Amino acid sequence: NAGVTQTPKFQVLKTGQSMTLQCAQDMNHNSMYWYRQDPGMGLRLIYYSASEGTTDKGEVPNGYNVSRLNKREFSLRLESAAPSQTSVYFCASSDAGTAPYEQYFGPGTRLTVT
Amino acid sequence: RKEVEQDPGPFNVPEGATVAFNCTYSNSASQSFFWYRQDCRKEPKLLMSVYSSGNEDGRFTAQLNRASQYISLLIRDSKLSDSATYLCVVTVTGFQKLVFGTGTRLLVSP
- CB atoms A102 and B34 under 8 Å: yes
Give me the pLDDT at residue A100, please: 55
A22 compared with A98, residue with greater pLDDT: A22
Are A51 and A81 spatial neighbours (Cβ–Cβ below 8 Å)?
no
Contacts of B67 (CB under 8 A, 6+ apart): none
Closest residue, chain A, to B42 (C-alpha): A107
Are B36 and B89 spatial neighbours (Cβ–Cβ below 8 Å)?
yes
Of B4, B43, B96, which has the smallest distance from its Cβ to A108's Cβ?
A: B43
pLDDT score of B3 more than 60: yes
- CB atoms B103 and A101 under 8 Å: no
User: pLDDT band at residue B11, thresholds of 50, 70 and 90?
Assistant: very high
pLDDT score of A8 more than 80: yes
